[in-house]
Amino acid sequence: SAPLNGEATFTIEFDANPAPEVKWFRNGLELSSSGRYRIVTRPNESKSTLIFNEAWDSDNNSKISCEIVNPLGRDTCEAVFHVKTPPKLTREPEEQRVPLGDTLKVKIPITGKGPFKFQVNKDGQSLANDDRVRIQEFDDFIVVTIP
């Protein structure tokens, strides 16, 4: 895993004689050393490294695989690339009014990789999760309920 816009590396070690040809793939498409990818293969050290110079949101959950081949056979390995992203409110909650004594329920959509720590404010004051205010966290939203 890597933070959004951060560098990520994947390294394999191999034992082969003669030294194998090494190929790296992202979601089945072969990668080459150009743009935001760098591939460093050192046969004398029996290792190869794929470097993402910059992890993008679209890389999240990509399947990274490596194939090694020599005249005697082939082998593959794979990993899932997880990109860590900061939480982001996808839209501000709209103003809501309820009659005095009714329950107010606000759904706030979010994106990012959890776990998250939330702080809900009303008029500049933090609302605590207690008998009067209930804050529930779900995968892609939180719900604030004020009875």
40 and 106, same domain (yes or no): no
pLDDT of res. 114? 67
Last residue of a domain, one of 35, 69, 84: 84
Q: Are 74 and 103 contained in the same domain?
A: no
| Total domains, the chain | 2
Q: Are residues 42 and 100 in the same domain?
A: no
Note the pLDDT of residue 145: 87
Predicted TM-score (pTM) of this structure: 0.69
pLDDT of residue 147: 77
Averaged pLDDT in 10-residue chunks for the chain of 147 residues: 94 96 98 95 96 95 97 98 84 82 86 74 80 82 84
| CATH, residue 31 | 2.60.40.10
The amino acid that residue 136 corresponds to is Q
Same-domain status, 104 and 47: no
CB 53 within 8 A of CB 36: yes
Q: What is the pLDDT of residue 140?
A: 81
- Same domain, yes or no: 71 and 113: no
Q: Which two tokens stand for residue 33?
A: 């050393």
Count of C-beta atoms within a 10 Å radius of residue 110 = 18
Residues 76 and 128 placed together within one structural domain of the fold: no
**Which 8-state DSSP code applies to residue 131?**
S
Residue 118 belongs to domain spanning: 88-146
Instruction: State whether 77 and 92 are in the same domain.
Output: no
